[in-house]
Amino acid sequence: VTPIERFAALAAGRPLDRLPCVPIVGNTAARVLGVRTAEIRRSGELLARAHTAAYRRFGYDVVRVFTDLYVQAEAMGAKVRVPEDETAYLQKPAIANAHEVDRLLPADPGKDGCLPAHREAVARVVDDLGDEAVVTAAVTGPFTNASFLVGAETLARLALREPAVVRHLCEISLETALRWADAILDAGASPSITDPMLSSTVVSPRQFREFGLPYLERLVTHIRGRGKAVTLHICGKTRPVWALMADTGADCLSIDNEASLTEAKAAVGKRVCLMGNVPPVAVLFESDPAGVRQAVRTCVREGGDNPRGLVVASGCSLPTETPFANIDAMVRAVDEIGWPLRVTEASA
Amino acid sequence: MRRAGDLFEREEYFIPELLICSDAMYAGLRVLQPHLPSGSAERKKGIVVIGVVEGDTHDIGKNLVKIMLETAGFEVVDLGRDVPPAIFVERAEFAGAHIIGLSTLMTTTMGAMSEVIRLLDEKRARSRIRVMVGGGPVSQQFANRIGADGYAANASGAVAVATRLRQAPAESRVP
């Protein structure tokens, strides 16, 4: 059974061999290939080879071409620091304050920043794995991208003081996201959206409605209009905004371990597939295979009977140095649970 | 500001509201400060040196902790973000700090937190300068493992931890 067949069965409510399993591998892919993280960020060929190698090594279901959330903002002028062998981080927003917004232009995936390299990577992975695995590439949501353009704290203040500026930043970020999504779709893959700044750890549900929903709705509608299902991931607390996340039109909501699958299932399980939420740090990074197995079983006990299905995933992208044995254990635990789901300890 | 912190904890206020309230507080303080007796007891609950560890620039969490600590009467020396471990120690000794507060949102930088503790150990300064840690990937478990004196899950928790660290004497430490 290929991952594509598995997802098709899940979507149609048909029996499967096991639930789809997605340890969200990002820079860990560099470790599988034995190259440095900065190398996969700048080389389309290496990025593709790393993710293809990681997929073959672990046997999970979704290949997500991803290094960090900054690639779109960088292509619009933000400065990103890229350590040779650690995850990149934002060094300086694209503009210093709200008065400079007119300087910003949407990015061109054909030439700006490392978008061309990442586009090449997506096309190569689709060539290699497209007929068996679900191939996706990360799109940073408009509000989160806006935070990289002007700085997170500035954006938070502007949300209350100058909402029109925030809307402008979201609009221009949406245009970049749409272009990047189109590039991913043209390469034959599915854009998957991540918008962590919309977490209820950061902004209120009212602010989500104002600065998140309208832009995400347009982005999701566009991608679905081109025939691909959309996953929306938001880290941190999300319970207050699950209904709004479903209102974006997303097919699948990916939630963090700070949110409960049991509650999400009750709240929006009839509307959307759920994806989550094995703790990426406390379990997958820091625990051992036995701990991973327990956490996977808890996850499936909570969300396995979600009406629109469950994808067993990590709550967020995995730390680069996540032990391979733990990723193996995650896939093995989902295998062991099988289908129909066997999660009571007596049968283990 | 304390009230704003309560509302934040109850999820009625979020980060934008908290930041706006703190702007108002600091604007008020700038007006009042010249008229307050210098070194009043209220500002002397302790000195905290705080920063985001090297390899990360996510600093909203650190800034919220700073705001809540200052609200509670601590003096805070803010080293900003992407701060190398040695700088934390150097600046804490220079400021005569009682506490170092370390923040990160990235797992890649968690090693730098234990490096700060190692440097303090080397200088035999652990009983003078206590260490508290926080941020997305950090947990109580992690704090215990690296030998930090305190962990808090959020900004108001950080005030409670800092207050406790100032009241309780350093426990004798078994390596």
A324 touches chain B (CB under 8 A): no
B39 pLDDT above the threshold of 70: no
Mean of all residue pLDDT scores within chain A: 96
In this prediction, residue B170 has a pLDDT band, given cuts at 50, 70 and 90, of: low
Query: Which residues of chain B lie closer than 8 angstroms to A240, CB-CB?
Result: 11
- Could B19 and A203 be called an inter-chain contact, meaning their C-beta atoms sit closer than 8 Å? no
- Could A160 and B20 be called an inter-chain contact, meaning their C-beta atoms sit closer than 8 Å? yes
Three-state secondary structure readout of chain A: CCHHHHHHHHHHCCCCCCCCEECCCCCHHHHHHCCCHHHHHHCHHHHHHHHHHHHHHHCCCEEEECCCCCHHHHHCCCEEECCCCCCCEEEECCCCCHHHHHHCCCCCCCCCCCHHHHHHHHHHHHHHHCCCCEEEEEEECHHHHHHHHHCHHHHHHHHHHCHHHHHHHHHHHHHHHHHHHHHHHHCCCEEEEECHHHCCCCCCHHHHHHHHHHHHHHHHHHHHHCCCCCEEEECCCCHHHHHHHHHCCCCEEEECCCCCHHHHHHHHCCCCEEEEEECHHHHHHCCCHHHHHHHHHHHHHHHCCCCCCEEEEECCCCCCCCCHHHHHHHHHHHHHHCCCCCCCHHHC
Separation in Å, CA of A157 to nearest CA in chain B: 5
- Could B56 and A89 be called an inter-chain contact, meaning their C-beta atoms sit closer than 8 Å? yes
* Pairwise CA distance, residues A215 & A220, whole Å: 9
**Average pLDDT for A174-190:** 98
- Could B107 and A282 be called an inter-chain contact, meaning their C-beta atoms sit closer than 8 Å? no
B87 touches chain A (CB under 8 A): no
**Average pLDDT for A113-122:** 98
- Could A282 and B57 be called an inter-chain contact, meaning their C-beta atoms sit closer than 8 Å? no
Separation in Å, CA of A29 to nearest CA in chain B: 15
pLDDT at B38: 65
Lowest mean pLDDT, pick from A125-134, A141-150, A317-326, B31-40:
B31-40
pLDDT at A345: 63
pLDDT at A208: 98
In chain A, pLDDT over 90 holds for what percent of residues? 96
Interface of B with A in 22-81 (CB under 8 A): 23, 55-60, 63
A260 touches chain B (CB under 8 A): no
Query: Which residues of chain B lie closer than 8 angstroms to A156, CB-CB?
Result: 15-16, 19, 60
* Pairwise CA distance, residues B163 & B152, whole Å: 12
Query: Which residues of chain B lie closer than 8 angstroms to A315, CB-CB?
Result: none
Query: Which residues of chain B lie closer than 8 angstroms to A161, CB-CB?
Result: 20
Q: Which member of A152, A204, A320 has the closest CB to residue B14?
A: A204
Interchain CB contacts (distance < 8 Å): A and B: 64
Separation in Å, CA of A91 to nearest CA in chain B: 7
Per-residue pLDDT tens over the stretch A143-162? 999 999 999 999 999 999 99
B11 touches chain A (CB under 8 A): yes
pLDDT at B169: 65
Separation in Å, CA of A88 to nearest CA in chain B: 8
In this prediction, residue B175 has a pLDDT band, given cuts at 50, 70 and 90, of: very low
pLDDT at B40: 55
Select the more confidently predicted residue: A91 or B110: A91
Per-residue pLDDT tens over the stretch A39-75? 999 999 999 999 999 999 999 999 999 999 999 999 9
Determine which of A234, A286, A314, A317 to mutate to test the interface with B (most B C-beta atoms within 10 Å). Answer: A286
B154 touches chain A (CB under 8 A): no
Query: Which residues of chain B lie closer than 8 angstroms to A295, CB-CB?
Result: none
Separation in Å, CA of B139 to nearest CA in chain A: 8
pLDDT at B2: 86
B17 touches chain A (CB under 8 A): yes
In this prediction, residue A302 has a pLDDT band, given cuts at 50, 70 and 90, of: very high
B172 pLDDT above the threshold of 50: no
Per-residue pLDDT tens over the stretch B70-89? 999 999 999 999 999 999 99
Q: Which member of A86, A91, A203 has the closest CB to residue B16?
A: A203
**Average pLDDT for A174-202:** 97
pLDDT at A135: 98
A172 pLDDT above the threshold of 80: yes
Q: Which member of B11, B14, B56 has the closest CB to residue A207?
A: B14
